[in-house]
Amino acid sequence: MAMTMTQKILAAHAGLGFVTAGELIEAELDLALGNDITAPVAIRELERVGGHVRDREKVALVMDHFTPNKDIKAACQVKCTRAFALREGVEHFFDVGTMGIEHALLPEQGLVGAGDCVIGADSHTCTYGALGAFSTGVGSTDLAAAMMTNKCWFRVPSALRFVLRGSLPRFVTGKDLILHIIGMIGVDGALYKSMEFTGEGVGALSMDDRFTVCNMAIEAGAKNGIFPVDEIALAYMEGRFRRPVKIYEADADAAYDATYEIDLSALKPTVAFPHLPENTHTSWNNIAIDQVVIGSCTNGRLSDLRQAAEVLAGRKVAKNVRCIVIPATQQIYLDAMKEGLLETFIRAGAVVSTPTCGPCLGGYMGILADGERCVSTTNRNFVGRMGHVTSEVYLASPYTAAASAVTGRLSAAEEVLK
């Protein structure tokens, strides 16, 4: 029976010869992830039933949302998780000094890779599909059960196929691609489906582009996003990924609910206006802004910082605009420092933060006041997402965000780098 790439991974982890869309299965997991917000809930449930971690090498706990701790409650959340990790001997515990934003950190550390089946108590766990893994977000009680059993129940998703052609133009990135797709199909256009990317255009996308695209699959309602494993993905995993690479390919006659053809060369810088990721625009009038955030699990990688620095080099952040740059991991921070990117940001009038999810979810490091507007490289722009309920968030690429910081209004990079 023909299967999609996602269905093949799920079948293998369920010990089945084949699976079909809608089928309920129990699958073995390669990794279960929790963070400083979701892990304490799972830990309390696990302790309530007297459970313990079954495989300490298959659990990762990343303190990234409010770390370093922003207040007493955050400190207690991390204390709970830290004590649990020590007591249970969890191998992969990342705290201050080693932490990073989880969905940038785990691929960097080689903890996720091709052929894996991964869950995380965070909706953007779908990021790892960029490496050819099935990865998806779950609730904290699911995480508790997974830590105890190393298994999880799934309803096998049907799939949408996105056939990519050509290559991206100058100043257009993976962020623009996924915003274009979400604008095209809507925030529920892939509801509980697998978004599977294919076509010769895949080879024109960097790994960071692919991470960004899969990261925001959930913003279209998808169960997961996934890319084929090619030479670019293999090169990324070489010397990094800790388990054998397992490559799965969709059958030529696999069934898809719909197929979309996308010409990458026709894409333009795209921005999602408030208050949904589907509210996308490629042109705009004079929209003044108050803040820019460059970072997050979507766009806090080294290539993202390089794009922002290209725009900010030799320029200044506009008066009355706050520009906050957040490297996604300690290694990215260190690499950016060695390349001189941090100096570029600081000389431009931006500030550089320790790795954190902070402002993305309205946590800290850049909360918006009433009526303020922010251009952000994050993944959600819901009402009140980054602060006051009357504030506004515009989702954009690092190029567009940095250009907007310079002009003080929503702007494309081409406008600044003429």
pLDDT tens sequence across 350-368: 999 999 999 999 999 999 9
Q: Quickly state the pLDDT bin for 1 (edges 50, 70, 90).
A: confident
Which CATH code for domain 271-416?
Answer: 3.30.499.10
Query: Of the given ranges (95-99, 128-132, 245-249), which has the lowest mean pLDDT?
Result: 95-99
Query: Which one-letter DSSP state was computed for residue 318?
Result: P
Sign of CA dihedral 236, 238, 239, 241: positive
Q: Do residues 130 and 359 touch, judged by C-beta distance below 8 A?
A: no
Instruction: Tell me phi and psi for residue 300, to 5 degrees.
Output: -115, 20
What span, in angstroms and rounded, lies between the C-alpha atoms of 86 and 83? Answer: 5
Q: Do residues 197 and 190 touch, judged by C-beta distance below 8 A?
A: no
Mean pLDDT for all residues in the chain: 96
CA 333 to chain centre: 18
Sign of CA dihedral 114, 119, 121, 125: positive
List the one residue out of 278, 267, 279, 222 whose CA is nearest residue 399: 267
List the one residue out of 390, 386, 400, 392 whose CA is nearest residue 357: 386
Using CB atoms within 10 Å of the CB of residue 121, give its burial: 0 to 12 exposed, 13 to 18 middle, 19+ buried. Answer: buried
pLDDT of residue 418: 76
Pairing, β 280-281 against β 159-165: unpaired
List the one residue out of 280, 254, 295, 311 whose CA is nearest residue 386: 295
pLDDT tens sequence across 17-60: 999 999 999 999 999 999 999 999 999 999 999 999 999 999 99
Using CB atoms within 10 Å of the CB of residue 285, give its burial: 0 to 12 exposed, 13 to 18 middle, 19+ buried. Answer: exposed
Q: Do residues 232 and 100 touch, judged by C-beta distance below 8 A?
A: no
pLDDT of residue 279: 97
CATH 3.30.499.10 intervals, the chain = 5-264, 271-416
pLDDT more than 90, % of the chain: 97
pLDDT of residue 208: 97
Query: Which one-letter DSSP state was computed for residue 154?
Result: E
What span, in angstroms and rounded, lies between the C-alpha atoms of 351 and 286? Answer: 25
Pairing, β 258-263 against β 159-165: parallel
Tokens representing 358 are: 């902070």
Tokens representing 191 are: 């509801």
What span, in angstroms and rounded, lies between the C-alpha atoms of 257 and 126? Answer: 20
Which CATH code for domain 5-264?
Answer: 3.30.499.10
Tell me the CB-side half-sphere exposure of residue 263, using CA atoms within 13 A: 2
Contacts for 281 with CB less than 8 Å, ≥ 6 apart: 270, 271, 272, 273
Contacts for 139 with CB less than 8 Å, ≥ 6 apart: 121
pLDDT of residue 104: 97
Residue 242 pLDDT > 90, yes or no? no
List the one residue out of 205, 177, 195 whose CA is nearest residue 250: 195
pLDDT more than 70, % of the chain: 100
Tokens representing 293 are: 């955030």
Query: Which one-letter DSSP state was computed for residue 408?
Result: T
What span, in angstroms and rounded, lies between the C-alpha atoms of 109 and 115? Answer: 17
Tokens representing 184 are: 């095209």
Question: What are the Cα distances from residue 325, in Å, to 156, 243, 311, 359, 417?
Answer: 39, 33, 13, 11, 20
Residue 141 pLDDT > 80, yes or no? yes
pLDDT tens sequence across 263-275: 999 999 999 999 9
What span, in angstroms and rounded, lies between the C-alpha atoms of 400 and 383? Answer: 22
